[in-house]
Amino acid sequence: MSELIQYRLEDGVAFVGLCRAPVNALSQRLRAAILSACERAAADAEVKAIILHGADGLFCAGADIAEFGTDAAFAEPSLPDTLMRISEIDKPVIAAIGKLALGGGLELALACGYRVGEPGTRVGLPEINLGLLPGAGGTQRLPRLIGAESALNLILSGEQIDAERARLLGILDRLASEAKHLLDEAETYARELIAMSAPALPPEHCPRPAEDLPDGFFASFRERQESLWKNRLAPRLVLAAVEAACLLPLREGLARELSLFKQAEASSQSQALRHVFFAEREAGRIPNIAPDLPLRSIRKVAVIGAGTMGGGIAMNFVNAGIPVMLLEQQGAALDRGLTMIRKNYEISVKRGKLSADQVEARMELLHGTLDYAELADADLVIEAVFEKMEIKQQVFRTLDRVCKPGAILATNTSSLDVDAIAMSVSRPQDVIGLHFFSPANVMRLLEVVRGKATAPDVLATTMAIAKRIGKLAVVSGVCFGFIGNRMLEPYSREAQRLLLEGATPAQVDKVLTELGLNMGIFSMQDLAGVDVLYLIRQANQAATAHDESYCRIGDELTVLKRHGQKSGRGFYRYEGRERQEDPEVVALAERLSQELNISRRAVCDEEIHDRCLFMLINEGIQLLDEGIALRASDIDLVWINGYGFPAHLGGPMHYAEQLGLERVLASIQRYRSELGAYGEMWFQPAPLLKRLVAAGKTRIERF
Ligand code: 3HC
Ligand code: NAI
């Protein structure tokens, strides 16, 4: 028997334990091993029932994602064939689901006649997050078990549901009393089934899955969802597969599912989303830091400044059960901050996401103070005061005096030099940047800014604590804007320049949203505050002073107090939440073009796409070359999670690879020569991009 399976026979019951750590991903070898163990049990007359389980408890996280895009994905025995064979065994097969059954793991369980979970088990079909649909019977067997509509909702949401809900829906037949009794109770179940001569496959709960659906359900569902799905392929394929489950016999439905699955698997969208999956796991690995480096213990956190960011940052920690001391300069500001936090929680109560008791428990973990002495035992302090170097340095000097040795001192600065902040204390090795994104309690991204002196265990500890509070942490070196905002600069510069050359904000935004970005750059600037971005530019003036057209329209809008959504006018005019193109902005652009001697013309969508996106990409490649980003995929994560770049394009670096690096370089060179002095100044291909193209490389990597 393969080392991937533990097989034992006990008094008529065969136990088939999957052992491919860490999550029993169903690689070709594991599929073959499961099949052969099941055949052995099927052929053994002594075996009356079979229990499939995870040898270490955890059942199965699905198909091996690393095999997709390679021949191994469909190599014999394929997952659908393996599961078909299991469903044909003429003895009861029971899935004993420890911890989780996801994707192909749940499909494996669905191919069994019976399913037992343990308290805390999570089940789901998250394939949609990978641009896929369940491809081993999930879209056919689940509707026959729980009805088409429930199955559709589960598959389209990719949601992982808990054991109790799975039992109520009919996915699990039984729940073990405790996780440690799962196998024993699965065995009891098996013996009951043997005793009652239960059929190998019980009758389908919903042999006609669409029975309760109104006429035209699928057509109207499609119509309602189309706009939400934008240009994503997978949801459309899911719908087609579930519709097939309602129309076709099982075998034909499975064949239809497989063909739709192969279409999804071969799509660039799925390729991109699989890239994102592995990128997220890779982001936590830091070169030259051993995974077993001892970490500092973080039991108490302090946050300085109870404003927009400080409040949100504090919420993250109390949500994870970590006590937080929130420090302000004055009582009124502290009260305001605490009230705002409570208000945010109350919104969650109204939405049914938290109970009133949970809110009280969280508020109890939060202690306001005006006295730095109370921070003496904090393990991690995060500063979120005004964005002024003198103020931050002053705060850090105070922290240096009051904090215990070994406390990690972090700054949430978005644009100041973390090394300069570190220089203000006697322990720069303990200083790090933790750049949360707004709203800090919601946004998943956290840029972890490693200073020159930051100690390895400080970095490793902050990465671990980020995971504990549910953030996706990406390491950045120190530079103006770190990874995300530094790339935002050329992107935003190009967009603004295009307005002077003849485009309108709505035209530019439309090109970007049609590509799949959550928001166009001008809607985003209006949301962030045109004035806020102006101040950031002022702080970075040295880099841009030689170009008088640089974000000029944003500067003028700031002077006109058109600060964006908050003032009802910015790049657009707002009536309530409604956004409208504003002729005044177009007139302003015309006036500035004249003043700056920029000739206006009709700008085509392709030019908008190439100039905005390729300048963004070029800056990303430069950041990689400078070592600010550790890897191209980290840059992708920053832009997907912090700036609404579509995950199904894989982030800007992956998108560039898909378009072809040669095309990106050629376009930059073209605008360099076509846009005169402006092109000469800004359209400078990153040296790394030139080197990659010259060497015929198709992937963006340091080279
Ligand atoms: N295939 C290959 N590798 C997988 C995997 C999978 N399905 N699921 C997890 N892994 C790997 C991860 O890459 C990681 O490897 P690393 O240590 O080398 O980086 C390791 O397992 C542990 O994963 P995590 O770091 O994510 O561990 P967590 O404990 O945080 O999360 C998990 C575990 C909830 C299982 C999470 O990994 C997950 O969500 N996995 C993906 C589940 C999924 O999407 N399944 C569907 C696959 S597609 C499919 O089944 C198609 C079918 O319908 C035909
Ligand atoms: P804010 O103005 O809402 O809050 C700052 C708070 O700090 C105020 O409540 C103020 O009373 C308090 N404060 C000022 N000096 C203090 C001191 N010496 N001691 C204690 N408290 C003091 O500002 P916001 O937006 O929360 O920004 C805070 C920091 O976060 C800044 O460095 C900013 O650049 C950064 N940041 C802001 C983001 C945003 O979108 N607002 C995003 C990411 C980072």
- Rounded-to-integer distance, Cα 318 and Cα 326, Å: 11
Closest ligand 1 atom to Cα of 62: 50
Distance 471 CA to ligand 2 centre (A): 20
Domain assignment of residue 285, yes or no: no
pLDDT digits (tens, 9 = 90+) for 334-346: 999 999 999 999 9
- Given a cut of 90, is residue 350 above it in pLDDT? yes
Together in a domain, 683 and 584: yes
Q: How confident is residue 523, by pLDDT bands cut at 50, 70 and 90? A: very high
CA distance 363 to 454: 32
- Statement to judge: residues 374 and 495 lie in one domain: no
179 CA to centre of ligand 2 in angstroms? 46
Question: Which residue in this structure is represented by tokens 């040295």?
Answer: 542
**Structure confidence at residue 472 as a pLDDT band (50, 70, 90):** very high
Same domain assignment for residues 493 and 451: no
561-565: which pairs have CB atoms within 8 A and are 24 or more residues apart?
Answer: 562/530, 563/529, 563/530, 563/531, 564/525, 564/526, 564/527, 564/528, 564/529, 564/530, 564/531, 565/526, 565/527
Strand 578-581 relative to strand 49-60, pairing: unpaired
Residue nearest to atom 41 of ligand 1 (CA): 61
Q: Which among 476, 474, 443 is positioned nearest to 642, based on CA atoms?
A: 443
Strands 301-304 and 324-327: parallel
CATH number at residue 622: 1.10.1040.50
In the DSSP assignment, the letter for residue 73 is: G
Q: What average pLDDT does this structure show over 10-20? A: 98
**pLDDT per residue as tens digits for the range 202-251:** 988 888 888 889 999 999 999 999 888 988 999 999 999 999 999 999 99
- Which of 456, 476, 496 finishes a domain? 476
As a dihedral over the C-alpha atoms of residue 653, residue 656, residue 660, residue 665, rounded to 10 degrees, the angle is -100
Note whether 111 and 198 are same-domain residues. Answer: yes
Do residue 654 and residue 544 come from a single domain? yes
Q: Specify the range with the lowest mean pLDDT, choosing from 294-298, 332-336, 546-550.
A: 546-550
Taking CA atoms only, the protein residue closest to ligand 1 atom 32 is 61
Which protein residue's CA is at the shortest distance from atom 19 of ligand 1?
A: 281
Q: Which ligand is nearest to the CA of 281?
A: 1
Q: Please state the domain count of the chain.
A: 3
User: β-strands 366-369, 380-383: how paired?
Assistant: unpaired
Pocket around ligand 1: residues whose beta carbon is below 6 Å from it?
A: 22-23, 25, 61-66, 79, 102-104, 107, 126-127, 130, 132, 134-136, 138, 281
Helix 250-265 crosses helix 79-88 at what angle (to 10 degrees)?
160
User: Quick one: how far is CA 18 from the chain centroid?
Assistant: 29
pLDDT at 544 over 90: no
Q: Which of 344, 391, 414, 563 to mutate to test the pocket of ligand 2 (most atoms within 8 A of CB)?
A: 414
Q: How far is the CA of 9 from the centre of ligand 1 (A)?
A: 30
Q: Which of 476, 497, 531 is where one domain is finished?
A: 476
Tell me which residue has its CA closest to atom 1 in ligand 1.
64
333 lines ligand 2 (CB under 6 A): yes
Q: What is the pLDDT of residues 560-607, one digit of tens each?
A: 999 999 999 999 999 977 899 999 999 999 999 999 999 999 999 999
56 in the same domain as 121: yes
Beta strand segments in 113-227, E: 114-117, 122-124, 160-162, 174-175
pLDDT confidence band for 543 (50 / 70 / 90) = confident
360 and 326 in a common domain: yes
We report the CATH number of the domain holding residue 441 as 3.40.50.720
Do 581 and 682 lie in one domain? The reply is yes
| 544 and 635 co-located in one domain | yes
State the alpha helices, DSSP H only, in 577-697.
583-596, 605-626, 632-643, 652-659, 661-674, 676-682, 687-694
Contact between 409 and 398 (Cβ < 8 Å) = no
High-pLDDT (> 70) share of the chain, % = 100
Q: Which atom of ligand 2 is nearest to the CA of 330?
A: 11
What are residue 575's DSSP bridge partners?
Answer: 578
- Radius of gyration for the chain, computed over Cα atoms and rounded to the nearest angstrom: 28
Cα–Cα distance for residue pair 407/455, rounded to 1 Å:
12
Ligand 2 pocket residue status of 441, Cβ below 6 Å: no
Examine the fold and report which residue of 476, 503, 535 is the final residue of a domain before the chain moves on: 476
pLDDT recorded at residue 570? 97
User: Does residue 598 lie in a domain region?
Assistant: yes
**What is the enclosing helix (H) or strand (E) of 235?**
helix 234-247
153 falls within a domain: yes
Q: Determine whether the shortest distance from the Cβ of 309 to ligand 2 is under 6 A.
A: yes
Distant-in-sequence, close-in-space partners of 64: CB < 8 Å, separation ≥ 6:
25, 26, 27, 28, 30, 72
Is the minimum distance from the CB of 407 to ligand 2 under 6 angstroms? no
How much distance in Å is there from the Cα of 97 to the middle of ligand 1?
16
Residues 328, 331, 336, 341: what is their CA dihedral angle, to the nearest 10 degrees? Answer: 60
635 Cβ below 6 A of ligand 2: no
Position 89 scores a pLDDT of 98
Same domain for 307 and 200, yes or no, is no
- Residue 204 CA to ligand 1 center (angstroms) comes to 30
Give the whole-angstrom CA distance, residue 703 versus residue 701: 6
Pick the atom of ligand 1 nearest to 66's CA.
Answer: 2
Taking the centre of ligand 1 as the mean of its atom positions, its distance from the CA of residue 76, in whole angstroms, is: 22
Band of the pLDDT at 36, cuts 50, 70, 90? very high
- The rounded Å distance from CA 231 to ligand 2 centre is 38
Q: Is the pLDDT of residue 400 over 70?
A: yes
Residue 244 lies in a domain: yes
Would the CB of 438 count as within 6 Å of ligand 2? yes
The tens digit of pLDDT for each residue in 637-679 reads 999 999 999 999 999 999 999 999 999 999 999 999 999 999 9
Q: What is the β-pairing status of strands 122-124 and 160-162?
A: antiparallel
Same domain for 83 and 166 = yes
| The predicted structure's pLDDT at residue 545 | 73
SS (H, E, C) 239-273: HHHHHHHHHCCHHHHHHHHHHHHHHHHCCHHHHHH
Domain-embedded: residue 221: yes
Concatenated DSSP letters for 296-325?
Answer: PP---EEEE--SHHHHHHHHHHHHTT--EE
- Catalytic residue numbers read 107, 127
Q: What is the CATH number of the domain that holds 250?
A: 3.90.226.10
Residue 202's domain comprises: 5-265
Q: What pLDDT is recorded for position 106?
A: 98
Alpha helices in 469-549 (DSSP H): 484-501, 505-515, 521-528, 530-539
Per-residue confidence band for 128, with pLDDT thresholds at 50, 70 and 90: very high
Three-state secondary-structure class, residue 59? strand
Q: Render pLDDT for 92-125 as a digit per residue (tens, 0 to 9).
A: 999 999 999 999 999 999 999 999 999 999 999 9
Confidence tier at 1 by pLDDT (50, 70, 90): low
Alpha-carbon torsion (693, 695, 699, 703), positive or negative: negative
Does the pTM surpass 0.85? The reply is yes
- The residue whose CA has the least distance to atom 15 of ligand 1 is 281
Asked whether residue 34 is assigned to any structural domain, the reply reads yes
280 is a domain residue? no
* Residue of 18, 20, 23 to test ligand 1 pocket, by largest number of atoms within 8 Å of CB: 23
* 384 pocket-lining for ligand 2 (C-beta < 6 Å): yes
Task: Name the residue with the closest Cα to ligand 2, atom 36.
Answer: 414
pLDDT the model gives residue 2 = 78
Q: What tens digit of pLDDT does each residue of 81-91 get?
A: 999 999 999 99
Provide, rounded to the nearest whole percent, the portion of the chain with pLDDT above 90.
94
| Residue at 390 is within a domain | yes
Looking at residue 689, what is its pLDDT? 98
- Average pLDDT along the chain: 96
Residue with tokens 């939440």: 577
Rounded to whole angstroms, the Cα distance separating 535 from 525 reads 13
Which atom of ligand 2 is found nearest the CA of 309?
Answer: 26
Dig out the tokens for 266 from the structure: 């071969």
CA of 54 to the centre of ligand 1 (A): 15
Domain shared by 531 and 647, yes or no: yes
